[in-house]
Each structure stands twice: as C-alpha cells, then as structure tokens.
Amino acid sequence: MRLLPALLALAAARPLACADSHWCYDIQAKASNYACLVMVLLEDEASVTGGGLAARYRAKQMHLHWSEELDKGSEHTLNGVRYAMEMHIVHEKEKGTSRSEKEAQDPKDEIAVLAFLVEAGSEKNDGFQPLVEALSYVPRPKMNTTMNDSISLLDLLPKKETLRHYFRYLGSLTTPGCEEKVVWTVFQERIQLHKDQIAAFSTKLYYDSEQKLKMTDNVRPLQRQGQRLVFKSQAPGQLLPLPLPTLLVPMLTCLLAGFLA
C-alpha cells in the first residue's frame, strides 16, 4: 500500500455525547431520547485475515447507516462525494492470531470494520431484496423476524474481483463510545440498490414504539482527518489471501428489532 492524499473523509474522533451517557443521532435528539442500537448478528461464522491486517478477525455483526437523501447517508466520503448508505461488517480480533506480541497488545486495532458505500442504481438489487422485504416485520424496537429465504453475506457485496481496491486507516468506532480502536477498510467499489430499496429503510423502520419518528439520518457527522494516515491498496491480486466464499459464508436468518444502526 502507498500513502494516499486526503481523498477519504474519516468518520472518526469525538462522539456526539459522553460515552457513559445515552447517545443518539441528531434527528432523535430533536424529538426524544430513543435508543439507537440496532444490528444483524453474525454469530462468529465468518472471519477475515490478510490484506495487510495484523491478525485474524471474527465477524460479530453487520449494520447500515442511511438517510432519506441519496447524498447524505454514508459516514465516509470519496473525493468529497457522500453516498446514500454505508454498510459495516464489524469484526473482533481473535486472540493468539497476531503476528507479534506487540501487535497482540495494541489496542488500536482490536476491531476491524469492512465498510461498503451504497449508491442509487437503476435496477433492483436481488441480493438485498430479502433484507428489504423483512423490514416490514421489524418496524419498531424489540421486534425480530426470521426471513423466509436465508441469504449469504456474499449476496450483499460487490463482485469479488473488485474488492482488491480499498482504503485503510486507523480510526474509531462511529457509535458509542467512539473508542479509537478500529482498523478501517473502506472499499472503493460501491454497492448499488434501487432508490426504492434505499427508501425502504427510512420509511419502514422507526426509532420509537409509537412509530412517530422514522429511523433515518443515523449517520455520524464527518470528522477531521487530523494526523491519521490513509492508505490505498495497489495490490495486483485480491485483497484477501483466500477466496471470498471461504471467508464470508454466514447465512443471515434473523433480523433483530430496529435492526440496522
């Protein structure tokens, strides 16, 4: 990898509120203090290694950020462009897999997040459609559903041959309490969803049980890059040392309430 000029705006640094207090997005604060932790659990069935990562990481959960506006839903920008949504696959470092004792003790990379930007396309994304359809069954907090058709993470990602192009930097979580312990991998290739699929997340999900406050604009504001270095992959081969089907195999079957944060 080589050092890249600041093409990537970072979603890292300070939280909107103290880590030990309840934390919410700006849209929630305007109405009430509704909970905003929602996600899809991956049950440790997938892992990732290589591509410059210092250890093996085990997948824990997947979530998305979005907005009703197609250019305000991502937490990263590329060349100043913000996208409709952003999908994060969150991994935790496996003990005993670091390349050195020093790396094993380094708290700056306890978490590895694979980030995928989502833009509006002209066609429906069939891989995402079961997820979109299931939203109607979990509109309010503390609800869950089982999808009729299980889907693989691979159904949600861009074609594997495009995943060798990515950005890498050390930063923070973008949800409470925004700890500085994340190695970010932001892929250059975007996921495309039809605008109606994107709109479904803002129209079918709610922060509150009364369904008065739409779950939208769950996006952390862009943060200053500061002294962080951003790298870009230049590898002629693929990002990961093993074929993606080997690494990303979990089936998503259960959606948790308010599920995607």
Q: How much is the pLDDT for 24?
A: 55
Residue with the bigger pLDDT between 89 and 248: it is: 89
Sign of CA dihedral 111, 179, 87, 235: negative
Percent of the chain scoring above 70 in pLDDT: 67
More confident residue, 196 or 221: 196
Residue 35 maps to a domain: yes
Q: Is residue 108 part of a domain?
A: yes
Q: What is the CATH number of the domain that holds 147?
A: 3.10.200.10
Residue 260 lies in a domain: no
Range name among 43-52, 61-70, 196-205 with the lowest pLDDT average = 43-52
Residue 248, pLDDT > 60, answer no
Residue 60 one-letter amino acid: K
Please answer whether residues 125 and 191 qualify as being in contact, where contact means their C-beta atoms are separated by less than 8 angstroms: yes
Asked whether the whole model's pTM tops 0.95, one would answer no
| Average of per-residue pLDDT values in the chain | 76
Q: Give the count of domains, the chain.
A: 1
**pLDDT of 103 higher than 70:** no
Task: Give per-residue pLDDT as tens, 5-28.
Answer: 334 444 433 333 333 334 456 665
Dist CA 252 CA 134 (whole Å):
12
Residue 71 has pLDDT above 80, yes or no: yes
Query: Residue 215 domain-assigned?
Result: yes
Residue 148: the pLDDT is 67
With the CA atoms of 53, 56, 59 and 64 taken in that order, what torsion angle do they form, in degrees rounded to the nearest 10? 0
Of 7 and 176, the structure prediction assigns the larger pLDDT to: 176
Q: Are 78 and 6 in contact (CB under 8 A)?
A: no
Looking at residues 127-136, what average pLDDT do you find? 90
Handedness of CA 42, 47, 51, 56 (dihedral sign): positive
User: Would you say residue 196 lies in a domain?
Assistant: yes
Give the tens place of pLDDT for each residue, 133-170.
Answer: 989 988 988 888 777 667 778 889 998 888 888 888 99
In a domain, 206, yes or no: yes
The rounded distance, in Å, linking the Cα atoms of 240 and 51 is 5
Domain, as residue range, for 166: 2-255
CA atoms lying within 13 Å on the CB side of residue 69: 5
Is the pLDDT at 74 greater than 90? The verdict is yes
Share of the chain above pLDDT 90, in %: 28
Q: Is residue 44 part of a domain?
A: yes
Residue 210: partners with Cβ closer than 8 Å, 6 or more residues away: none
- In this predicted structure, the answer to whether residue 212 has a pLDDT above a threshold of 70 is yes
The whole-angstrom distance between residue 24's C-alpha and the CA centroid of its chain comes to 17
